[in-house]
Structure 1
Amino acid sequence: MGIFDKFKGHGQHKAKNVSDTAERQVNEKTGDKYTDKVDDAQQRTERATGVDRPDRPERPDQP
């Protein structure tokens, strides 16, 4: 079982909370210098793990 399988298993609500908390902590530690990159990483992780975010518009994948 990989890390993404564990992430999926906690349910959508829990996964969103974990994802948001991680994003917030990283932004705090970096002084909000990389918010765009952190947000992009969060969205990619959520897509890979199947977290549904209808309230957030999808950004196209960047090469």
Structure 2
Amino acid sequence: MAGFDDITKKAQEFLADDKVKDALKSEQAEDISDKVLDGAEDVVNKVTGGKFAGQVGDARAEADKRVGTD
């Protein structure tokens, strides 16, 4: 799967850029990521009937640590 490997490598290079790192740690990124993560959490909980709400909440919290300011 050379195509997937190429995409992965380019994504890693993109995310290593200092400007990209700064943008991901901005207040604007925090606001946007909170809305996206909240929506994704709601959808997953609806689809699963809340059966995995604890794990979904944990995953959402971990993702939130990695984007934005909080």
The TM-score, its normalising length taken from structure 2, stands at 0.57
* Max Rg structure: 2
Alpha-carbon distance between aligned partners in 1 of 2:60 and 2:35, rounded to the nearest angstrom: 12
Q: Counterpart in 1 of 2:47?
A: 29
Give the Cα separation in 2 of the matches to 1:36 and 1:28: 13
Candidates 37, 49, 52, aligned match of 1:19: 37
RMSD: 2.0
Q: Which residue of 1 aligns with 2:64?
A: 46
- Unaligned runs of 5+ residues in structure 2 are 1-13
Secondary structure of the corresponding residue to residue 11 of structure 1:
helix
Q: Distance in 1 between matches of 2:54 and 2:48?
A: 12
> Would you tell me which structure has more helix in proportion to its own residues?
2
Q: Give the letter aligned to residue 36 of structure 1.
A: G
Aligned length: 48
In structure 2, C-alpha distance between the alignment counterparts of 1:48 and 1:11, rounded to whole Å: 11
4+ long deviations beyond 3 Å: none
CA distance in 2, matches of 1:34, 1:51: 27
